[in-house]
Amino acid sequence: MLRAALIGLPSSGKTTLFQLMTSIHDTPRGKGDVNIGISKVPDERLDKLTAMYNPRKRVPATVEFTDIVATRGGAQALVDVAGYRNADALVHVVRAFRDPAVAHPAGSIDPARDAQTMEDELILADLGVAERRLERIEKDLKKGKSAELQKERDLVQRCKETLEHGTPLRALQLAGDDLKMLRGFQLLSAKPLLLVINLDENDVAEVGADVARAAEKTGLRSLLAHASTRAIALCASIELEISQLAADDATAFLADLGLSESGLDRVIRTSYDLLGYISFFTVGEDECRAWSTARGTPAQLAAGEIHTDIQRGFIRAEIVAYDALMARGSMAACREHGEVRLEGKEYVVQDGDIINFRFAT
């Protein structure tokens, strides 16, 4: 399951977005409270598969969102909250709406300033982690040389220097062994970042879902040039109202704003794209279900998303592409046309694959 943590300064609309994403409206608001909610991933393909199979159960893929109260507690507050460090991505809600009834802590509305303030806190938190790790490595190296430990020291030193220049670690675009080596540190500024530009309703009517225009209007364009950074623009309060309407009314309201999809859909879709996630499906009369996995995942590891026993006892994956099944109308017709194939454990799962895992326990 994809895990995303919401960050943002007070009065940014972070909790409103959490309510929109999770439909949880009665959340504890004490300092340091951690609120966790699950959001269903909208997927028209799952809807069509459900209509085809008429199963007893329909299960969409899900995203876990974490909202932590009182984000503005300095870098140490970020270090101490596991909900941030355990997240796959950070969703930073940046205030761009103007409302005299909701005071801004800094006394004025400045999205670029606020976004940089939070980025600086992430960098400062990671710098503390890097410095402490380097101290420990130097002590261990004095006890005896270790090629692996020296390699880690060089990498952490590189990270420290990057952070000291005020640059987030996601800019390094770490991969392979370097990424594995740092994974245990759960560095905040290395995580992919989704900026949610929380606009006025009037601004939404002007820019719609055009992120480039919203970024230009709010001074956030330079931040979007950073690696592993994406953005969407919405008005969280209006989106929350829309989410509580009947489907037809919601569609009409969105159309009036010049939008073709809800903010919830855009946050999830952009998060998937940011992290390189895809969905595959399992289907049948009992259940039609969507599963999330990282792009490039081999079949045997994807089987582990369902159950570790399936991964361990993996034999073959029986696969048909979603488009082929929709075009033929049934699995039997796909078999007749040779479009159902058997793949081994190294097969890389593709977005939209419909898979039946064969395994032995």
Q: For the chain, which ranges sit under pLDDT 70?
A: 25-32, 69-83
- Give just the sign of the alpha carbon dihedral 103, 108, 113, 117: negative
What is the per-residue pLDDT for 230? Answer: 93
How crowded is residue 176: how many other Cβ atoms within 10 Å of its Cβ? 7
Q: Is 95 left (phi over 0), alpha (psi -120 to 50) or beta?
A: beta
Amino acid at 282: T
In CATH, which superfamily holds the domain spanning 296-359?
Beta-grasp domain (3.10.20.30)
Domain boundaries, the chain: 2-43+58-106+192-275, 296-359
Please give the CATH topology (third level) of the domain spanning 2-43+58-106+192-275. Rossmann fold (3.40.50)
Its pTM stands at: 0.88
Whether 198 and 17 have beta carbons less than 8 Å apart is answered as yes
User: Among all chains, which residue has been given the structure tokens 């761009």?
Assistant: 96
What is the per-residue pLDDT for 71? Answer: 45
What is the per-residue pLDDT for 256? Answer: 85
How crowded is residue 25: how many other Cβ atoms within 10 Å of its Cβ? 12
